C-alpha cells in the first residue's frame, strides 16, 4: 500500500456510526483518507477512531438537519458520503427531515464548496413512493440532490445483511426464545439481500473513479428470495424448527398502527406498507456488474455469523 495515497484528501461521512458506516470507515482508513464523521452522539461513534491511525478519523457532533453543521464540516472536503437513513419515525426524527431535508443540506453544501464527488445511499423498492412515507421521502431526496448536485452517485441497495445487522440477527434471536415466527402475507415479499462488505466495496469503487459521476446503481445480491425463504435459511443455519404464523396485510396494518404508540415498536404501519412491494433490482438498470463487483451469497456469508445462535434447546 502506498502510504501517501489519499493522505491529504478529506472525505466526510454522514451516518458513519450505523451498521454500514463501520465498514466504510474501515475501507477509507486503509486507503489513507482523512475522515471526518458527523454524528448526533459522538459517544456512539468512538469505535471508528480505532479503525484508523492516530488523528486520521475525526468525530464531530452535529445534525444533518442543521445546515450550519453540514456546511461547516463539508468546507474543505474532497469527497462526501451520505449513509444516513431511518426505518421508523420518532418524536425527534421524521422521514422528511432526515431523508429529504438532511440530504438536501448535504447536496447544497457539496455544490457550494465544489466537492469532487458526493455518494448518496438510498434504497431499492421505492417505486413511485406512494405506498409508504419512507419510500416517498427517500425518492424525493434522490430527485432533490440530483437537481442540486448533478455529479452525485446514488447507490440503491436491497436489504443489507451482515454480522451486526438488525435483520437476520433479529430473527435469529427471536427463534432462540419463541416457538413462533410471524409471516406477514405468508412471507411472500421478495428481497435480494446484499452483503454489507459488497456495499462498502461499491462505495470504495465509485469514490475513486470519475467515470461513475451522475450514475445510479441498484445493488442486489445473487439470490432473489422471499421473506419466508430467508427465515427458512436462518432456522437452518441455527438448527431450529419453529411454527410459522401467517398474518394478512390487513391485520398486520392494524397491529402496526397499534404499535405506533410504543417508543420501540417491533413493526410500524409504514414498514408493513413497505412489505407490500418487492425489494429487488429492476430490469435493465446498472448494478454490481457495472462496478466490476461479484456480490456474495447470503446462503454462504450468513452461516459464518449465525452459528453463534445455535443452542442445545
pLDDT tens digits, one per residue of 103-127 = 999 999 999 999 999 999 999 999 9
C-alpha 231 chain-centroid distance: 20
Q: Whats the size of the chain, residue-wise?
A: 313
Average pLDDT, the chain: 93
Residue with cell 454522514: 14
Domain architecture of the chain: domains with CATH: 10-161+193-222+279-295 (3.40.50.720)
Residue 7 is predicted with a pLDDT of: 59
**pLDDT exceeds cutoff 50 at 256:** yes
Q: What is the mean pLDDT of residues 274-279?
A: 96
Residue 261 is predicted with a pLDDT of: 76
Question: Cα separations (Å) of 195 from 63, 188, 199?
Answer: 28, 21, 7
Q: Give me the percent of the chain exceeding a pLDDT of 90.
A: 86
What's the N-to-C CA distance of the chain in angstroms?
A: 48
pLDDT in tens, 4-13: 466 579 999 9
Contact status, residue 206 vs residue 212, Cβ threshold 8 Å: yes
Q: What is the mean pLDDT of residues 269-282?
A: 95
Which residues on neighbouring strands pair with residue 115, listed in sequence order? none
Alpha helices, DSSP H, located in 19-96: 21-30, 67-74, 95
Residue 92 is predicted with a pLDDT of: 84
Question: Cα separations (Å) of 182 from 143, 176, 179, 227?
Answer: 36, 14, 10, 11
**pLDDT exceeds cutoff 50 at 1:** no
- CA–CA dist 182, 174 (Å, integer): 10
Residues 6+ apart with CB under 8 A from 47: 22
**pLDDT exceeds cutoff 50 at 3:** no
Torsions phi, psi for 306 (to 5 deg): -75, -20
Q: Give me the percent of the chain exceeding a pLDDT of 70.
A: 97
pLDDT in tens, 196-231: 999 999 999 999 898 999 999 999 999 999 999 999
C-alpha 252 chain-centroid distance: 24
- CA–CA dist 258, 254 (Å, integer): 6
pLDDT in tens, 36-49: 999 999 998 999 99
Local confidence band at 313 (pLDDT 50, 70, 90 cut-offs): low
Contact status, residue 81 vs residue 14, Cβ threshold 8 Å: yes
CA dihedral 11, 157, 238, 170 (to 10 degrees): 80
- CA–CA dist 111, 70 (Å, integer): 12
pLDDT in tens, 62-111: 999 999 999 999 999 999 999 999 998 887 889 999 999 999 999 999 99
Predicted TM-score of the model (pTM): 0.94
- CA–CA dist 162, 151 (Å, integer): 30
Amino acid at each position: 500500500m502506498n502510504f501517501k495515497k489519499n493522505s491529504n484528501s478529506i472525505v466526510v461521512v454522514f451516518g458513519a456510526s450505523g451498521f454500514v458506516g463501520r465498514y466504510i470507515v474501515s475501507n477509507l482508513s486503509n486507503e489513507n483518507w482523512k475522515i471526518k464523521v458527523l454524528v448526533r452522539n459522538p459517544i456512539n461513534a468512538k469505535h471508528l477512531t480505532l479503525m484508523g491511525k492516530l488523528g486520521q478519523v475525526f468525530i464531530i457532533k452535529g445534525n444533518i438537519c442543521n445546515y450550519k453543521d453540514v456546511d461547516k464540516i463539508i468546507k474543505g472536503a474532497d469527497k462526501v458520503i451520505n449513509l444516513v437513513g431511518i426505518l421508523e419515525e420518532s418524536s425527534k426524527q421524521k422521514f422528511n427531515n432526515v431523508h429529504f431535508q438532511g440530504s438536501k443540506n448535504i447536496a447544497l453544501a457539496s455544490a457550494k464548496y465544489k466537492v469532487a464527488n458526493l455518494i448518496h445511499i438510498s434504497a431499492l423498492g421505492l417505486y413511485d413512493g406512494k405506498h409508504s412515507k419512507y419510500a416517498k421521502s427517500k425518492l424525493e431526496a434522490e430527485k432533490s440532490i440530483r437537481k442540486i448536485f448533478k455529479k452525485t452517485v446514488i447507490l440503491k441497495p436491497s436489504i443489507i445483511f451482515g454480522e451486526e445487522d438488525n435483520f437476520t440477527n433479529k430473527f435469529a434471536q427471536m427463534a432462540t426464545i419463541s416457538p413462533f415466527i410471524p409471516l406477514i402475507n405468508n412471507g411472500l415479499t421478495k428481497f435480494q439481500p446484499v452483503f454489507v462488505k459488497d456495499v462498502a466495496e461499491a462505495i470504495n469503487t465509485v469514490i475513486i473513479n470519475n467515470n461513475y459521476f451522475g450514475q445510479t446503481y441498484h445493488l442486489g445480491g445473487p439470490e432473489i428470495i422471499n421473506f419466508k425463504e430467508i427465515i427458512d435459511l436462518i432456522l437452518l443455519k441455527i438448527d431450529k424448527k419453529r411454527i410459522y404464523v401467517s398474518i394478512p396485510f390487513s391485520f398486520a396494518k392494524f397491529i402496526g398502527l397499534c404499535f405506533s404508540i410504543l417508543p420501540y415498536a417491533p413493526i410500524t404501519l409504514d414498514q408493513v406498507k413497505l412489505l407490500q412491494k418487492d425489494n429487488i433490482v429492476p430490469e435493465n438498470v446498472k448494478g454490481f456488474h457495472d462496478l466490476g463487483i461479484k456480490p456474495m451469497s447470503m446462503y454462504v456469508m450468513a452461516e459464518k455469523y449465525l452459528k453463534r445462535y445455535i443452542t442445545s434447546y
